[in-house]
Amino acid sequence: NAGVTQTPKFQVLKTGQSMTLQCAQDMNHEYMSWYRQDPGMGLRLIHYSVGAGITDQGEVPNGYNVSRSTTEDFPLRLLSAAPSQTSVYFCASSYLRVFMNTEAFFGQGTRLTVV
Amino acid sequence: EDKVVQSPLSLVVHEGDTVTLNCSYEVTNFRSLLWYKQEKKAPTFLFMLTSSGIEKKSGRLSSILDKKELSSILNITATQTGDSAIYLCAFGGTGNQFYFGTGTSLTVIP
């Protein structure tokens, strides 16, 4: 059981380049999300999805796109990388229950540097 | 605006000490309060608290939620060097969205 798998682990981009961070989970979780973690800022929610075909914005969505074509995969796209997007990115997944929260499982993170 | 504040921001203790980490929140649709431990990579789940006054325990770690005071504490007794990490608290809103605090960095010195 792999859990949540993120690739790549490290990436350096030039300003203006685009790229996709991959996230896959094998726990049949309905809910998937992307966070970025910056020093002194904690984890901030970028986008999330409650199921295939359904996505929504979190706290800091600008400059990022997501899609959810399958239950397993939730890629994050940087459209035109900027130095402000230098951060550590985490993908997380969890079961979705209507009236309660459930534990989120995190991937190992992607350290992205934009120069 | 919903927010989560953790204190202290960082803490250095000696092995064997007991530490108390604090988390306070201001939220509009509170469902639960979660604690995570983050070592070098991914945060790992510790506790979820939904009811006030109920203590959750796992070995030397325990946590309690005070809904009246909108706060939670995480206690670690007899600290070990392996407890060195960033401890994150988060509140869960509707739809399983989680809002995280900035974390408390704990360093345990041998």
Q: What is the pLDDT of residues B17-42, one digit of tens each?
A: 999 999 998 877 788 899 999 998 89
pLDDT, tens digit, for every residue of A65-76?
A: 999 999 999 999
The contacts of residue A35 (CB under 8 Å, 6+ apart) are A43, A44, A45, A46, A58, A89, A90, A91, A92, B100
Contacts of B96 in chain A (CB under 8 A): 31, 48, 50, 94, 96-97, 101-102, 104
Average pLDDT over residues B42-53: 88
User: Touching check for B30 and chain A: CB below 8 Å?
Assistant: no
What does DSSP assign to residue A73?
Answer: B
Considering only CB atoms, A90 lies closest to which of B42, B45, B103, namely B42
Q: What pLDDT is recorded for position A93? A: 94
Indicate the average pLDDT of chain A: 93
pLDDT, tens digit, for every residue of A11-46?
A: 999 999 999 999 999 999 999 999 999 988 889 999
Q: What percent of chain B has pLDDT over 70?
A: 98
The pairs formed by B64-71 with CB atoms below 8 angstroms and a separation of 24 or more are: B65/B33, B67/B30, B69/B24, B70/B24, B70/B25, B70/B26, B70/B27, B71/B22, B71/B23, B71/B24, B71/B25
Q: What pLDDT is recorded for position A1? A: 61
